[in-house]
Amino acid sequence: MVEVTDRPDTQVPPAEVPDVHPPHAHSWLSRWVFSQDAKYIAIQYSGTAIAIGLVALVLSWLMRLQLGFPDLVSFSPEAYYQFITMHGMIMVVYLLTAIFLGGFGNYLIPLMVGARDMVFPFVNMLSYWIYLLAVLVLVASFFVPGGPTGAGWTLYPPQAILSGTPGGRDAGIILMLLSLILFIIGFTMGGLNYAVTVLQGRTRGMTLMRMPLTIWGIFTATVMALLAFPALFVACVMLLFDRLLGTSFFMPTLVEMGQRLEYGGGSPIVFQHLFWFFGHPEVYIVALPAFGIVSDLISVHARKNIFGYRMMVWAIIGIGALSFVVWAHHMYVSGMHPYFGFFFATTTLIIAVPTAIKVYNWILTLWRGDIHLTLPMLFSIAFIVTFVNGGLTGLFLGNVVVDVPLSDTMFVVAHFHMVMGLAPLMVIFGAIYHWYPKITGRMLNHRMGLIHFWVTFVGAYAIFFPMHYIGLAGVPRRYSELGDTPYLTASVAGLNAFITIAALVVGAVQIMFLFNLLWSARHGQRAGGNPWRAASLEWQTPDTPPRHGNWSDELPVVYRWAYDYSVPGAPEDFIAQNDPWPARPVQP
């Protein structure tokens, strides 16, 4: 049972935040292009991320065609390595990071904490434009002589800046590094906004423990990103110096094709430490917002409070903190001191505990719920399946000795696509189906949504589940051709062809999803202000879509947490966060 403090509402506590009105757009340009409205910036961010993500999708098709049908399709190794590199980098950084923090972060943070906008709207706008510039620099690398870099998304030196790698001695690697540096600068501007808005922009009554888990996830991920991206920045700047100015931060004495180079004395391992000090938190920078969002989707669509809210918050924070001391589990066979293996295997497997708690709590939220099998709920279920699968294979790779035979094989590829490709994508899809009515005022087409869901879920599982076994059989990753490999059974080629066909189908259905996004904005069924009957604040705006400034003259006042669903005795099966039931509302 809930105890409701029945306090006399005669004394109104002073507002925690002075109400500031966001700057108004004065011209067409400042309204539609250089907008400072976080909701509009969110759409700009998401649109750009999806557009560049489409490029990465096509690249994945091309490389799958080569792997599945080596007799029919034959790209040069240069082209193949450029495909995998750009596919990986775009998906991880320019799509997933950008859409979760720049897209969902911008749209949801002010609405969910009851703010009018981000605290620094101008900086927020700048963040997007720098991100766009980073994307354009990245795209430019496709058109320079030598093409984009083909060093793999990890960009390991020394090969990344040598002539044996596509783009290594050409402009490709330079543009890649510049683009990343720009991305990090742009992200830092946005990240400051997200963090400060959560800390300082919350409306009256919105204590930390009343925030929806979406906000907890995005907030923690933002703080992590602010601390982790500098590591990538440092690595990129130093690598750029090595490439352009001839320093030897990462470059040892080496002889390339019989030619001794000017470099000497540096250590490639230092780059790997820096890269993974960013790279591992990056996994959680993508995963934590997904964790948060999926918690809210499950709770709303099962009409039940999220089970173990406190534990969920602690798990998010705990995972965030722990993820800074596990980076070297990507380096078990890198030649670092072997005794690091003991430490990093232990910390890595400890992370499994808070992560498992989150999974249990999602499922226990379904327990005795009132499960509506809407599209967001379907995608949430798919998320749990793919995330549990990918998370469990992480226990193979995190356990140092099991990682030795599996590292750098297709098992790794299958693992991280399952856990940080598919799982977050399922959440992104679920979240779009969930919040689209708030953004546009219309529902997405349900029939197209169902096709999208089934093909994506079943198809993607069929791509990545068998791929683990190809890796187990000993197929290394990043092989443009397997050639004649005696220890493999011939049937691996057949399995590869099957995976390629599945990948083509799953990719194609995403095009239909994008069509649905555009089509439903015009022709979708009208949604009303709160179609899912959700309790959190973004559904209580006076207008749908919310106008500039989000709220009417008064900011909303929050009386409760975001999960009052099916509260016994309540008139409806949800109580909105700004509903004072059963007390009287505060008279401002």
Partner 1 sequence: MVVVVALVSVVVGSVLFHLLSPWWWPPIASNWGYIDATLIITFWITGIVFATVVLFMAYCVWRFRHRPGRTAEFDPENRRLETGLTVVTALGVAAMLAPGLIVWKHFVTVPDDAATVEVFAQQWSWSFRMPGADGRLGTADLRLLDSGNPLGLNPYDRFAQDDVIVEAADLHLPVGRPVKMVLRSVDVLHDFYVPEFRAKMDLVPGMVTYFWFTPTRTGEFEILCAELCGIGHAVMRGYVQIQEEADFQAWLQGQQTFAQLRESSSAGP
Partner 2 sequence: MSIVLAFVVPVIAVAFWWLIRQGVMSKPWLETGLPEAVPVRSAEHVGLGIFLAVVGCLFALFGSAFVMRMDVGTWSSLRLPPIVWANTAQLVLASLFLHLAFVSAKRGDRAGPRRDMTIAALATVGFLLGQLLAWRELTMEGGGLTTSPAASFFYLLSGLHALHILGGLAALGLVMSRGGADGGRLRLGIGLCVAYWDFLLVVWLGLLVLFLGWANRFVEICRGVLT
251-270 residues near partner 2, rule: CB under 8 A: 252, 262, 264-267, 269-270
CB atoms within 10 A of CB 517: 20
CB of 403 to partner 2, least distance (A): 20
Q: Is 309 in the site for partner 1 (CB under 8 A)?
A: yes
Q: Is 14 in the site for partner 2 (CB under 8 A)?
A: yes
CB atoms within 10 A of CB 140: 14
* Window 316-335: residues binding partner 1 (CB under 8 A): 333-335
* Window 188-247: residues binding partner 1 (CB under 8 A): none
Residue 61 or residue 241: which is nearer to partner 2 going by CB? 241
Stretch that binds partner 1, among 24-32, 37-45, 103-111, 264-272 (CB under 8 A): 264-272
Q: Is 68 in the site for partner 1 (CB under 8 A)?
A: no
The entry of partner 2, partner 1, none near residue 106 (CB within 5 to 8 angstroms by kind) is none
- Rounded (10°) CA dihedral 404, 406, 407, 412: -150
* Window 95-124: residues binding partner 2 (CB under 8 A): 119-120
* Window 334-373: residues binding partner 1 (CB under 8 A): 334-335, 338-339, 341-342, 345-346, 349-350, 352-353, 356-357, 359-361, 363-364, 366-373
Burial of residue 317, with CB atoms counted within 10 A of its CB: 0-12 exposed, 13-18 middle, 19 or more buried: middle
Q: Give the span between the Cα atoms of 358 and 295, in whole angstroms.
A: 9
HEC readout, 178-217: HHHHHHHHHHHHHHHHHHHHHHHCCCCCCCHHHCCHHHHH
The entry of partner 1, partner 2, none near residue 231 (CB within 5 to 8 angstroms by kind) is partner 2
Closest-CA residue to 112 (of 243, 211, 217): 211
* Window 357-416: residues binding partner 2 (CB under 8 A): none
The entry of partner 1, partner 2, none near residue 260 (CB within 5 to 8 angstroms by kind) is partner 1
Q: Is 253 in the site for partner 1 (CB under 8 A)?
A: yes
Q: Is 310 in the site for partner 2 (CB under 8 A)?
A: yes
Q: Is 249 in the site for partner 2 (CB under 8 A)?
A: yes
Q: Is 195 in the site for partner 2 (CB under 8 A)?
A: yes
Going by C-beta distance under 8 Å and a sequence separation of 6 or more, which residues neighbour residue 131?
Answer: 45, 48, 98, 102, 182, 183, 186, 187, 190
The entry of partner 2, partner 1, none near residue 311 (CB within 5 to 8 angstroms by kind) is partner 1
Q: Residue 62, SS3?
A: helix
CB atoms within 10 A of CB 447: 8
Burial of residue 52, with CB atoms counted within 10 A of its CB: 0-12 exposed, 13-18 middle, 19 or more buried: buried
Is the distance from CB of 334 to CB of 269 less than 8 angstroms?
yes
Is the distance from CB of 223 to CB of 320 less than 8 angstroms?
yes
Residue 452 or residue 548: which is nearer to partner 1 going by CB? 452
Q: Is 466 in the site for partner 1 (CB under 8 A)?
A: yes
CB of 3 to partner 2, least distance (A): 5
Of 21, 24, 260, 547, the one binding partner 1 by CB under 8 A? 260
* Window 211-240: residues binding partner 2 (CB under 8 A): 223, 226-227, 230-231, 233-234, 237-238
The entry of partner 2, partner 1, none near residue 405 (CB within 5 to 8 angstroms by kind) is partner 1
Q: Is 325 in the site for partner 2 (CB under 8 A)?
A: yes
Q: Residue 489, SS3?
A: coil
Output the CA–CA distances (angstroms, integers) from residue 431 to 198, 402, 440, 533, in the order listed. 20, 35, 14, 15
* Window 438-457: residues binding partner 1 (CB under 8 A): 457
- Rounded (10°) CA dihedral 242, 243, 246, 249: 10
Q: Give the span between the Cα atoms of 245 and 242, in whole angstroms.
A: 6
